[in-house]
Structure 1
Amino acid sequence: MPVSAESDTPSVWMRIAQAIRTYWHWPVLVGVALYMMFQFWPPMIDLDPPGTEAPTFTHETIDGDTFRTADHDGQVMVINVWATWCPPCRIELPGFVDLQNEWKDDVQFVGLATDQQGARVVKPFAEEQGLNYPQIASDTLAYRHFPGEAVPRTYVIDTNGDIRYEHVGFMPKSTLNRVLRALT
């Protein structure tokens, strides 16, 4: 029985499947290349000019201590507004722990958790995550001094008390480290 010309030609879908099996590694390689590019050549960081004075506050931490921004005059501070329910916050926190360890003499991190349940949910989460810097659970404090709806929000305050860098969204450790190097 003769075979028609149509049956000898693979269907479009079969050709696509064959191409995927043959060239599957190219999208993976492009993804790895993009990841590596941003690790070694991250985007430029533009620090705001001095002049925007950071708010000062005194508030009780989740551990019952009193945190005063005035106690850290002359020191770079990183204020991170976050929440336990926020996936990008959870991803960036280990980098902040590492940077607090690395910069402990020159930089003070402080977390302002916006969880409405307060210290009841923030304290166990902070202990589980090994957060090594003061945590304040107060949505009103965060919104009063660092207004905005999105979390996470990160503010870097220079040694003169001016907000020099603001970032909304996930803050990569490498980017924040570059900001800290520029300000210390």
Structure 2
Amino acid sequence: MRRTALLVAGVLLVAGCSSGQQAAQNRQGQSGFVSGNGNVSTFAAGDRKPAPELTGKTLDGATWTLSEQTGKVVVLNVWGSWCPPCRKEAPELVAASKELGSAVQFIGLNTRDLDPAPAKKFVQEFGVPFPSIYDPNGKALLRFRGQISPKAIPTTLVIDKNGKVAGRVVGEVTKQTLLGMVKDAG
């Protein structure tokens, strides 16, 4: 009897998670996401892999290209306005970008916002001072296959001055973590 009760509880728990995720997907019009746990990976200079070429239109209509940033450390943050962990980490990214100033280029990669209006509202609400490439269908994100899971939102990469990935945070990033990663990448 106890075994049956545990089995039923397990099935209900799984069903509850699935229906909760489905309800969230229906509200957001999104295909879901998997938020990481803030797992930090750093890579020694000799083990770093090149970041793929990234070019796109920003939310304000300008063109941004990663290869034009050679010689600068770049912080790439993948986010969506529909993503609760992205909202939680936004003030941390803003604070880090302000503290690091123009020595580091921050760029957002806004994904799966099918309409740019919510993404623009997010940027305004959190006072995000750096540009974000608008990638509604995730094509730019898919270029990072092997370095970023397309469903692990948010994810932040730190790209060294030579265009190689020096570190990655899967999940929410904190200002202190980011400052340390940028220092290590430089």
Q: TM-score, normalised by structure 2?
A: 0.70
Q: What CA distance in whole angstroms lies between the structure 2 residues aligned with 1:145 and 1:159?
A: 18
Divergent runs of 4+, >4 A: none
Q: Residue 137 of structure 1 aligns to a residue in which SS?
A: strand
Aligned equivalent of 2:140: 141
1:91 aligns with 2:91: no
Aligned to 2:169: 167
Structure 1 residue 151 corresponds to structure 2 residue 153? yes
Answer yes or no: is the 8 Å Cα contact 2:93–2:175 preserved in 1: yes
For structure 2, the residue ranges without an aligned partner over 5 or more in a row are 1-39
How far off its partner does 1:120 sit? Answer: 2.5
Opposite residue 44 of structure 2, the aligned amino acid is: P
The counterpart of 2:42, out of the listed 34, 41, 47, is 47
Following superposition, the deviation at residue 46 of structure 1 comes to 5.7
Counterpart-to-counterpart distance in 2, 1:116 and 1:144: 18
CA RMSD of aligned residues (A): 1.6
1:123-158 deviations in whole A, cap 9, x for unaligned?
122112111001112022123335411111111001
CA–CA separation in structure 1 for the residues paired with 2:115 and 2:53: 21
Over 3 Å counting, the alpha-carbon distance change for 1:46 and 1:111 in structure 2 is closer
Deviation at 1:105, TM superposition (A): 2.4
Match of 2:112 in 1: 115
C-alpha contact 2:81 2:113 (8 A) present in aligned 1? no
Task: Output the CA distance in 2 between the equivalents of 1:116 and 1:77.
Answer: 23
CA offsets, 1:94-131, max 9 Å, x none? 11111111112211111111124142321122112111
CA–CA distance in structure 2, aligned partners of residues 99 and 110 of structure 1: 12
Which of the two has higher C-alpha Rg? Answer: 1
Gaps of 5+ in 1: 1-44
CA offset at residue 49 of structure 1?
Answer: 2.2
Kindly state the Cα deviation for residue 169 of structure 1 after the two structures are TM-superposed. 0.7
TM-score after normalising by structure 1:
0.70
Change (3 A) 1:115 1:52: same
Retained in 2: the 8 A contact 1:118–1:137? Answer: no
Higher relative contact order (CA 8 A, sep 6+): 2
> Which whole-Å CA distance do the structure 2 matches of 1:90 and 1:79 have between them?
16
Distance 1:113 1:105 in 2: 21
Helix, strand or coil at the partner of 1:100: helix
Q: How far does residue 168 in structure 1 lie from its aligned partner after superposition?
A: 0.6
Q: Is the 8 A contact 2:67 2:163 kept in 1?
A: no
Choose which of 41, 56, 66 in structure 1 pairs with 2:53.
56
Cα distance in structure 2, aligned partners of 1:144 and 1:163? 13
